[in-house]
Structure 1
Amino acid sequence: MKSVNVTYFIFGLRPVKVIHLDDELLSGTPYSFDWHDGNFKIDYKYMDDLWGPPASYNHDFEQLGQHEFDAVVSEIRAGRGMVNIDDSDFESGLRYYRDVLALGK
């Protein structure tokens, strides 16, 4: 059985988290913060920056720990008055990785 991991990044100002198996970050599924509703949605455009040279030099990125990442997201949401958060897209993706992919189904 493989382990399911989440790695946390800030691309410019946008929080992005990537669900992946073991240390296989590059084959993971990225979820970026949606500025309109504060939820995380699948968004592959940031993976180019992780795979190689940045696709856009305007997208400097930094890897964060979960607690620091969560604090950044909470601050953004609070500053924008985002209170009705629905992270079901991300949670469904995480469940799929844990229940299917990690087990090799």
Structure 2
Amino acid sequence: MPVRLFCDAAAEPSLCPLFAEAVSEAHPEWRVAQTGQAAEDHLRLVVLKHDSYGLKARIEWKNGNNPPVSGPEFELSVMDRALSDEMAKGFLLRLLDYSKVDFE
């Protein structure tokens, strides 16, 4: 199933590829394609906060004629070191799991 990914303007450039990796890992049955804007059917990373000490985000998705759905907001705070790509990807994987995204 093709799934178009969209990242908010607030997302650092490094988060969009990590989001695509996390989606591909969590849902290998989906064919992931990044897009620069929200499409009719899409999965969107909404970044509420991102800096070297943390990340706060939620996922929104739209499928067919259904209204958009918004998952829960989650936050990761790091105090003893800077937020790494590995930590951010782990956060995104958990966010996908808890959001229960449904494209069926």
TM (norm. structure 2) is: 0.34
Higher strand share: 2
Q: Which has the higher helix share?
A: 1
Compare CA radii of gyration and give the structure with the larger one: 1
TM-score by length of 1: 0.34
